[in-house]
Amino acid sequence: MSYTQKQITDALKLVQYPGTDKDIMGLDMVRNIKIEGKKIGFDLVFQKSDDPNIVPLKKACVSAILKFVDREAEIKGNIKVKAMHVVEEPKVLPKVKNIIAVASGKGGVGKSTVSSNLAVALAKAGAKVGLIDADIYGPSVPLMFGAESARPNLVNVDGKDLIEPHEAYGVKMLSIGFFVDPAQATVWRGPMASNALKQMIEEGNWGELDYVLIDLPPGTSDIHLTLVQTVPVTGAIVVSTPQEVALADAVKGISMFEGPGVNVPVLGMVENMAWFTPAELPENKYYIFGKDGCKKLAEEKGIELLGQIPIVQSIREGGDSGKPAAVNEDSVVGMAFADLAAKLNAAVDARNQKSAPTERVKITR
């Protein structure tokens, strides 16, 4: 009787690379498995020839095969260590701790409003925050921060020209609206829009930040793909109203992030326009777009509901006047966004403790 490849790979999946939660099969370190009778051999590939884990990992492989395949298997001396020298690509946004994509399925559900106010609330809570307006076809961040006339300068950092983000209410930001007339951007072809996003990420002088929020266009598009190919996105949040049509599109957004080729965890959903309370009837809640639609969807999908934001006149006015409503911390709106910021912080901490960093999606040609 001979052993099967599956027996071998199953056993080697139990060998973890020290200091990570990944196993040597998942890391693609095992190649050329050969089985001849009781003899088992394979190549164990390391990135560097002086990896301090070579000896302990070889021993762990031998033990795993003897324990889980057959204690009479001839494995000792048959594992060949190989070193693969890889050229490390320079890291994009090396000093940014968390990159958060803010997405929505349907347009007009308040994704930019949530991104802007959330960014302000995170900054008010003491975080260093950046905001990239990747909603190339309808950039609204400049309007929401009263920065329509901002024209960022170039600064020279270590011999490289970088774009200095505009700063308002404690948030550093870049938007395509700073560089072109928004009406012009709407007629751009996909590659132009994707290049603009890459440039804002790679050539912005972002420095050290706790968070960069990326306000994406509605739906799923080339821009989403460009984003996950350009940077390792820590997690996504999906904004929706409680309305059926919006929820159906939100599901598509969730599937896109969690899909096998992308693998960006969805940290939670935000229900915007959850209800309306008129100033003269503060006890009343009117569920204009339906009640708890997002809450129920989040429960169904096993995703956290990070917040419910009501329809409030000051949110719309704040967006139109260039002063996000969350700037007023003591208002009902300010408190709702502070709560959302705290929940996001906790969700990001939990994600970072539980799972390995996201990997950038590799470009296949």
Ligand X SMILES: Nc1ncnc2c1ncn2[C@@H]1O[C@H](COP(=O)(O)OP(=O)(O)OP(=O)(O)O)[C@@H](O)[C@H]1O
Question: What is the DSSP track for 219-252?
Answer: SS-HHHHHHHHHS---EEEEEE-SSHHHHHHHHH
Q: In 3-state terms, what secondary structure has residue 74? A: strand
**Residue 202 host element (H or E):** helix 190-202
Residues 83-122 that bind ligand X (CB under 6 A): 104, 107-113
110: annotated binding-site residue?
yes
Among 135, 249, 271, 304, binds ligand X (CB under 6 A): 135
For the chain, state the CA radius of gyration. Answer: 25
Question: Shortest Cβ distance from residue 321 to ligand X (Å)?
Answer: 10
Segment interacting with ligand X (CB under 6 A) among 135-143, 151-159, 189-197, 353-361: 135-143
Torsion angle (degrees, nearest 10) of CA 77, 78, 79, 85: 100
CA distances in angstroms from 70 to 33, 58, 77, listed in the order given = 16, 17, 16
Stated as kind and residue range, the H or E segment containing 45 is: strand 39-46
Note whether 152 binds ligand X by CB under 6 A: no
Contact by Cβ (8 Å): 335, 309: no
Which residue, 65 or 143, is less far from ligand X as judged by CB? Answer: 143
Stretch that binds ligand X, among 32-40, 226-234, 263-271, 309-317 (CB under 6 A): 309-317
Residue 96 marked in a binding site? no
For residue 270, state whether it binds ligand X (rule: CB under 6 A): no
Residue type, 273: M
Based on the shown chain and the rule CB under 6 A, indicate whether residue 311 belongs to the binding site for ligand X. yes
- Residue 138 near ligand X by CB under 6 A: yes
Q: Determine whether the annotation assigns residue 77 to a binding site.
A: no
Long-range contacts of 3-11 (CB under 8 A, 24+ apart): 3/35, 3/38, 3/40, 3/69, 3/70, 3/73, 4/35, 5/33, 5/35, 7/68, 7/69, 8/33, 8/35, 8/40, 8/42, 8/65, 8/69, 9/33, 10/68, 11/64, 11/65, 11/67, 11/68, 11/69
Residue 278 lies near ligand X (rule: CB under 6 A): no
259 is in an annotated binding site: no
Nearest distance from C-beta of residue 137 to ligand X, angstroms? 8
The answer to whether the annotation marks 170 as part of a ligand binding site is: no
By the rule CB under 6 A, 240 interacts with ligand X: no
Site size for ligand X, by CB under 6 A?
20
Question: Does 38 appear as a known binding residue?
Answer: no
Smallest gap from residue 253 Cβ to ligand X (A): 12
Name the residue nearer to ligand X (CB basis): 128 or 323: 323
Which of 61, 96, 309, 326 touches ligand X (CB under 6 A)?
Answer: 309
The string of DSSP codes covering 248-270 is HHHHHHHHHHHSTTT---EEEEE
- Binding positions for ligand X, 245-264, rule CB under 6 A: none
Stretch that binds ligand X, among 31-39, 134-142, 156-164, 223-231 (CB under 6 A): 134-142
Per the annotation, where are the binding residues?
105-112
Residues that bind ligand X (CB under 6 A): 104, 107-113, 135, 138, 140, 218, 272-273, 309, 311-312, 315-316, 319
Per the annotation, where are the binding residues for ATP?
105-112
